[in-house]
Amino acid sequence: MDSKQLFFEDVSVGDEISPITKKATLVQNVMYAAATWDFHRHHYDKEFTDSKGYLGTFIDGQLFGAFLAQLVAQWAGADGVVKKLGLSYRVMAIPGDVLTCKGRVADKYDKDSENLVHCDLWIENQRGEKVVGPAHALLALPLRNSKA
């Protein structure tokens, strides 16, 4: 993996965060259930979700937190540190959906000797519907001209 480092000085409010795309699959739902030890049947049992009137075996919303963390970590580079991540859930996602994770820089400031960037984030499906949003992340970035 070859990420460039992003420096605080190089960020401007309004900058776009390079989007990443994830494909929702049933197999991933099962892997995620195993990795989180959360076996709720509404993520993998179609008979169960049909009986409850759901659209399908919907993706665990918390998986989107992992996607957004990856979105900002890849943008920020190895020396960027994610300090806060918030997300609100909208439309359900089901296997077959294609999810695009996007973001934009909303604010930058320094506080307590950290250089912080606040980003607005969201996730859209292939129909342009918001699956996640509003969402946001707070990152600390290194200075290009660091005296440390």
48 near other proteins, rule: CB under 8 A: yes
- Closest CA relative to residue 125, chosen from 23, 16, 26, 18: 23
Per-residue buried b or exposed e for 58-72, using 16+ beta carbons within 10 Å of the residue's own CB: bbbeebbeebbbebb
Q: Name residues whose C-beta falls within 8 Å of residue 135's C-beta, 6 or more positions apart in sequence.
A: 68, 85, 86, 87, 88, 120, 121, 122, 123
Single out the residue of 26, 46, 82, 114 in contact with other proteins (rule: CB under 8 A). 82
Single out the residue of 87, 121, 123, 141 in contact with other proteins (rule: CB under 8 A). 87
78 near other proteins, rule: CB under 8 A: yes
46 near other proteins, rule: CB under 8 A: no
143 near other proteins, rule: CB under 8 A: no
Residue ranges in contact with other proteins by CB under 8 A: 1, 22, 28, 31-32, 34-42, 45, 48, 53, 60-63, 65-67, 69-70, 73, 78-79, 82-89
